[in-house]
């Protein structure tokens, strides 16, 4: 990281001057288009009319505000709230893992040309302070900063990555539906600060999204209540579900050896089997791309079934990308596995 930032420092200054101000892009584009229209009077009529339309749109300030996101769910949130007024760059990319992500030189360039950078906050991005220094002049918003925090249990066997170990701040606030609705308001305010003319639109979008999330939460509650009280325990591979569990009245038991990030030792395996047996739960939930053999041996030793892999941190792809699809997927997986006879 240090090297990367130092190396890109020169370029950073050059590109960063336009960040947060839209007129440099607009003026440059206006001039280029005007130049094209004057220089090529013989250009086809249809092309010319497209150019004129673009010219009008650009000069009228219709260029969307560029927003970069360091987390797939922050990118989703930015699209929900920003609508047509923003152009969102999801730097982690669909299906990516925000715990593993570190900005590459191309990402830095992208962020330097953005009006805003959205991070999850709560130390989800351990590199954030260094990034802010490298991006001087670009506003970086820690979307989850004001959302009430949970702490990773002191006896947690395994969490998600070395930055989020036992006793640390749990960054996974985005697994709570109420938290996401609150975050939409934070993002609407941040967008309005940069683009005051869009304030009403951002507020309306955040409100409409909030209403959809209310409906989603009512549905989720209605599903999860079908799980017998004694089974409301989530044995998950990735210790990402504390906020989800708190919201819906579940207890989280995170065990070693089920994640895509961890190599399983015989001790891990024994501890996992012990934890699953002790919990008395009927199902354990892996995450995508986990070690199938390990999971099978845990299931065989404990008699628990393997649930459908959970989507954590917005790593769903295709139809399962985005926050609402993630919640629907996880609620369905949990309800199905823990209510089956
Ligand atoms: Zn982590
Ligand atoms: Zn995570």
Dist. CA 259 → ligand 2 center (Å) = 10
Dist. CA 270 → ligand 2 center (Å) = 24
Phi/psi of residue 47, each to 5°? -65, -40
Dist. CA 124 → ligand 2 center (Å) = 8
Domain ranges for the chain, please list them: 2-22+63-144+176-215, 225-339
Residues 6+ apart with CB under 8 A from 304: 235, 276, 281, 282, 283, 284, 298
Dist. CA 268 → ligand 2 center (Å) = 20
From the CA of 123, the nearest ligand is 1
From the CA of 254, the nearest ligand is 2
Instruction: Write out the two tokens for 80.
Output: 């929900």
What distance in Å separates the CA atoms of residue 324 and residue 329, rounded to the nearest whole number?
A: 9
What does the pLDDT look like over 314-330, one tens digit per residue?
888 899 999 999 999 99
Dist. CA 64 → ligand 1 center (Å) = 32
From the CA of 97, the nearest ligand is 2
Phi/psi of residue 22, each to 5°? -95, -20
What does the pLDDT look like over 237-268, one tens digit per residue?
778 899 999 999 999 876 654 555 556 677 77
Q: What percent of the chain has pLDDT over 90?
A: 52
Dist. CA 127 → ligand 1 center (Å) = 12
Dist. CA 49 → ligand 2 center (Å) = 49
Dist. CA 239 → ligand 1 center (Å) = 9
Q: Let me know: does 195 contact 182? Beta carbons within 8 Å.
A: no
Instruction: Write out the two tokens for 232.
Output: 């409301």
From the CA of 313, the nearest ligand is 2
From the CA of 236, the nearest ligand is 2
pLDDT of residue 276: 85
**β-pair partners for 253:** 235
Dist. CA 86 → ligand 1 center (Å) = 28
Flag whether the pTM goes above 0.85: no
Dist. CA 79 → ligand 1 center (Å) = 24
Phi/psi of residue 119, each to 5°? -115, 160
Q: Let me know: does 288 contact 261? Beta carbons within 8 Å.
A: no
Mean pLDDT over 84-106 rounds to 91
What does the pLDDT look like over 290-319, one tens digit per residue?
655 666 778 889 999 888 988 989 888 899
What does the pLDDT look like over 128-149, one tens digit per residue?
999 999 998 899 999 999 999 9
Q: Let me know: does 327 contact 321? Beta carbons within 8 Å.
A: no
pLDDT of residue 270: 85
- For the cut 50, the answer to whether the pLDDT of residue 35 exceeds it is no
Residues 6+ apart with CB under 8 A from 228: 338, 339
Write the burial class of residue 121 (CB in 10 Å: 0-12 exposed, 13-18 middle, 19+ buried).
buried
Dist. CA 313 → ligand 2 center (Å) = 5
From the list 104, 115, 105, 107, the residue with the least C-alpha distance to 139 is 115
From the CA of 241, the nearest ligand is 2
What distance in Å separates the CA atoms of residue 117 and residue 257, rounded to the nearest whole number?
A: 34
pLDDT of residue 163: 84
Quote the DSSP letter at residue 31.
H
Dist. CA 318 → ligand 2 center (Å) = 20
What distance in Å separates the CA atoms of residue 75 and residue 134, rounded to the nearest whole number?
A: 21
**β-pair partners for 142:** 119
The dihedral formed by the CA atoms of 203, 204, 205 and 206, expressed in degrees to the nearest 10: 50
Residue that wins the pLDDT comparison between 59 and 212: 212
Q: What percent of the chain has pLDDT over 70?
A: 75
Dist. CA 324 → ligand 2 center (Å) = 17
Dist. CA 193 → ligand 2 center (Å) = 30
Of the options 1.10.10.10, 3.40.50.1980, 3.20.20.140, 2.40.50.100, the CATH number for the domain spanning 2-22+63-144+176-215: 3.40.50.1980
pLDDT of residue 93: 83
Q: Let me know: does 304 contact 283? Beta carbons within 8 Å.
A: yes
Dist. CA 159 → ligand 1 center (Å) = 7
From the CA of 240, the nearest ligand is 2
Dist. CA 58 → ligand 1 center (Å) = 41
Dist. CA 10 → ligand 1 center (Å) = 31
Asked whether this chain's domains 2-22+63-144+176-215 and 225-339 adopt the same fold, the reply is: yes
What does the pLDDT look like over 148-192, one tens digit per residue?
999 987 766 556 777 887 788 999 999 999 999 999 999 999 999
What distance in Å separates the CA atoms of residue 178 and residue 183, rounded to the nearest whole number?
A: 9
Mean pLDDT of the chain: 81
Q: Beta 169-170 vs 139-142: how paired, if at all?
A: unpaired
pLDDT of residue 291: 59
Mean pLDDT over 14-41 rounds to 40
What distance in Å separates the CA atoms of residue 91 and residue 104, rounded to the nearest whole number?
A: 9
Q: Give the distance from CA 52 to its chain's centroid.
A: 38
- For the cut 70, the answer to whether the pLDDT of residue 229 exceeds it is yes
| CATH number given to 225-339 | 3.40.50.1980
């Amino acid at each position: 990281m240090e090297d990367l930032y130092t190396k890109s420092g020169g370029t950073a200054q050059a590109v960063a001057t336009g960040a947060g101000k839209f007129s440099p892009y607009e003026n440059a584009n206006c001039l280029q288009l005007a130049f094209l229209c004057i220089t090529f009077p013989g250009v086809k009529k249809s092309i010319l009319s497209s150019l004129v339309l673009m010219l009008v749109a650009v000069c009228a300030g219709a260029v969307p505000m560029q927003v970069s996101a360091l987390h797939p769910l922050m990118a989703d949130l930015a699209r929900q709230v920003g609508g047509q007024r923003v152009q969102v760059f999801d730097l982690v990319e669909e299906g990516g893992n925000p715990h593993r992500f570190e900005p590459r030189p191309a990402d830095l360039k992208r962020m330097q040309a953005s009006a805003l950078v959205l991070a999850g906050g709560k130390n989800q991005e351990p590199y954030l302070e260094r990034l802010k220094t490298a991006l001087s002049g670009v506003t970086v918003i820690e979307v989850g900063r004001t959302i009430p925090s949970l702490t990773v249990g002191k006896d947690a066997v395994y969490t998600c990555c070395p930055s989020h170990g036992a006793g640390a701040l749990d960054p996974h606030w985005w697994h709570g539906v109420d938290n996401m609705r609150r975050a939409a308001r934070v993002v609407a305010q941040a967008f309005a600060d940069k683009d005051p003319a869009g304030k009403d639109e951002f507020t309306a979008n955040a409100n409409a999204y909030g209403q959809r999330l209310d409906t989603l939460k009512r549905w989720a509650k209605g599903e999860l209540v079908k799980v017998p009280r004694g089974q409301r325990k989530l044995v998950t591979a990735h210790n990402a579900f504390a906020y989800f569990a708190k919201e819906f009245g579940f207890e989280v038991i995170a065990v070693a050896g089920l994640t895509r990030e961890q190599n399983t030792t015989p001790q891990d395996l024994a501890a996992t089997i012990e934890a699953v047996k002790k919990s008395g739960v009927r199902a354990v939930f892996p995450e995508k791309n986990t070690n199938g053999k390990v999971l099978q041996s845990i299931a065989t030793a404990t008699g628990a079934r393997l649930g459908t892999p959970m989507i954590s941190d917005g790593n769903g792809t295709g139809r399962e990308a985005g926050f609402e699809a993630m919640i629907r997927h996880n609620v369905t997986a949990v309800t199905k596995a823990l209510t089956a006879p």
